[in-house]
């Protein structure tokens, strides 16, 4: 496959799509970020790519100025894939989502990790401040149309499964790792989430 063949198959980019890329966080971007409860973060160390979801109540990502956003890092599994990548390669891409809104907002840029205690304290929830935050400098900002989310029915409850269609997290961990997991029930997973959410 070549770039020329792709253009032959798909045609030229629509003028509106080509023109929508900006490099400053305008009022539309700020409103979108302020209402977002979920983002997907992509990072790379130059050899491999990692993607990770980040979520909190609306407003969890703060706009610092026209080109910077700050993201708290909440408790997780301590793999630290994304942050280890950033230490090697600061390139980052963020995709923001708002429940019921089919469009998404993408920011491409570079990230740095901060453990500044005053900055981390600004993001405390339930009395717990994150250990670190990410400061992301936006270089490329654009909205995505809602076709993918509409096709996937992500905000349409009538399209959702009536019951969980896959095994529990602990069942999958047991099978993937070969480790002994004494309680693989969904209640055990839910109890873990409740105890370690913040």
Compute the distance between CA of residue 109 and CA of residue 139 in angstroms, rounded to an integer: 5
Q: Give the residue ranges of DSSP H helices in the chain.
A: 3-10, 15-19, 27-35, 81-88, 117-121, 147-152, 169-177, 186-196
The answer to whether 39 touches 93, Cβ cutoff 8 Å, is no
pLDDT at 90 (0 to 100): 97
* Residue 146, pLDDT above cutoff 90: yes
74-131 confidence digits (pLDDT tens): 988 899 999 999 999 999 999 999 999 999 999 999 999 999 999 999 999 988 999 9
**pLDDT given for residue 18 in this prediction:** 81
Q: What pLDDT does 64 receive?
A: 96
pLDDT of residue 197: 87
- pLDDT score, position 133: 98
In three-state secondary structure terms, 74 is coil
pLDDT digits (tens, 9 = 90+) for 9-50: 999 988 888 888 999 999 999 999 999 999 999 999 999 999
């Amino acid at each position: 496959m070549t770039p020329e063949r792709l253009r032959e198959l798909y045609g030229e980019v629509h003028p509106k799509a080509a023109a929508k890329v900006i490099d400053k966080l305008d009022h539309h971007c700020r409103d979108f970020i302020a209402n977002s409860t979920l983002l997907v973060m992509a990072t790379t160390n130059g050899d491999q790519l990692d993607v990770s979801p980040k979520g909190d109540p609306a407003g969890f990502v703060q706009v610092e100025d026209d080109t910077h956003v700050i993201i708290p890092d909440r408790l997780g599994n301590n793999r630290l894939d994304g942050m280890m990548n950033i230490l090697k390669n600061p390139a980052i891409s963020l995709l923001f989502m708002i429940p019921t809104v089919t469009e998404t907002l993408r920011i491409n840029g570079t990230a740095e990790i901060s453990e500044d205690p005053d900055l981390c304290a600004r993001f405390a929830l339930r009395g717990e401040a994150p250990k670190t935050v990410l400061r992301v400098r936006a270089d490329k900002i654009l909205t995505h149309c809602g076709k993918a989310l509409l096709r996937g029915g992500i905000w349409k409850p009538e399209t959702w499964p009536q019951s969980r269609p896959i095994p529990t997290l602990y069942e999958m961990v047991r099978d993937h790792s070969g480790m002994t997991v004494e309680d693989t029930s969904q209640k055990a997973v839910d109890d873990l989430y409740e105890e370690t959410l913040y």
